[in-house]
Amino acid sequence: MLYLLTKSVGTFDYSFYKSISIFLISFFSNTFSAISGGGAGLLQLPALILSGVPYYQALASHKLATVALGIGGSLRNYKSLRNDINIAWQIIIFGLPGVIFGASIVEIISEKYLYFFLGIISIFLAIYSLLKSDLGLSSYKNELNLFSKIRFSIFIFLIGILNGSISSGTGLLVTLILIKTFGMDFLSAVSLTFFTVGIFWNFAGALLLSKIGTLPLNILLLLIIGSFTGGYFGAHLSKLKGNKLIKKTFTIVCLFVGASLLIKSITS
């Protein structure tokens, strides 16, 4: 089936072996991403680039595939979203303008500076998660004043800019901000991140980036299948194992995302 999909349409001539490799990379990277709340681009985006896909086409394909990840993760944990629908609207309303702006300037700003900035932040998140042993393991009600609400909206807009231009690791930032701002546990924060960032942000970014060049549809089909199944499976695991597994995975993914982005920044 995978072989027929890769031959049905496409710009690139990929062997059956490479098609299987891309699917597996997509599945496992999105499984970990669905558990931690982000970081699918750690493996998926570099794999596409190494396969010969130009950067902007790879970024657009990755974003469109992570929409399937968001749908897969949200389907498994949709019950967790009911109580946080107002927060979801805030993330969508204030984040989408940032995504649009970030996608529009992606060709102007040097990639290495964006990689370096987000790499430092990701490593900081990993260290912070390690030091805060109780982070996100339980939820509490946090009443926000006007200043806190404005600060949250500004942070979401800025992360949206990074999402539109880089993609890798921005879901991790949103997950942590939800935990710190609203007192959510990891499961609730990750579910909300995949509903808002995974579906709405990434779909908007993919549409804008797709205008830069034609998407490799043969790869895209494989990525969508791998992202959806990986997202659903990862969300299922996180639901079974709870917040401790999610926190550990979040810390590890943050560390590897940060290191990967710093290496990219130095070598680019």
Question: Measured between alpha carbons, how far is 169 from 171 in angstroms, rounded to an integer?
Answer: 6
Q: Which residues contact 209 (CB under 8 A, 6 or more apart)?
A: 56, 59, 60, 63, 103, 106
Phi/psi class of residue 167: alpha, beta or left (left: φ > 0; alpha: ψ in -120 to 50)? left
Q: What is the pLDDT along the chain (268 residues), one digit of tens a residue?
A: 434 334 444 444 446 777 788 888 888 878 877 776 666 666 677 777 666 677 677 777 777 888 887 887 777 666 667 778 889 999 999 999 998 888 777 667 666 777 787 778 778 878 887 887 777 677 677 778 888 889 999 999 999 988 887 766 788 889 889 988 988 888 888 888 888 988 898 888 878 777 765 566 777 888 888 888 888 887 777 777 767 777 777 778 778 777 877 887 787 6
Q: Six-digit token pair at 69? A: 């990840």
CA separation for the pair 240, 192 (Å, rounded)? 18
The pTM of this model reads 0.76
pLDDT of res. 151: 93
pLDDT of residue 11: 43
Question: Token match 């549409």: residue?
Answer: 207
Cβ-proximal residues to 62 (8 Å cutoff; 6+ apart), any chain: 40, 41, 44, 45, 48, 167, 223
Name every residue whose Cβ is closer than 8 Å to that of residue 7 and which is 6 or more positions away in sequence. Answer: 218
| pLDDT at residue 33 in the model | 75
- In this prediction, residue 60 carries a pLDDT of 76
Task: Tell me what pLDDT residue 158 has.
Answer: 92
Q: What pLDDT is recorded for position 2?
A: 39
Question: DSSP code of 23?
Answer: H
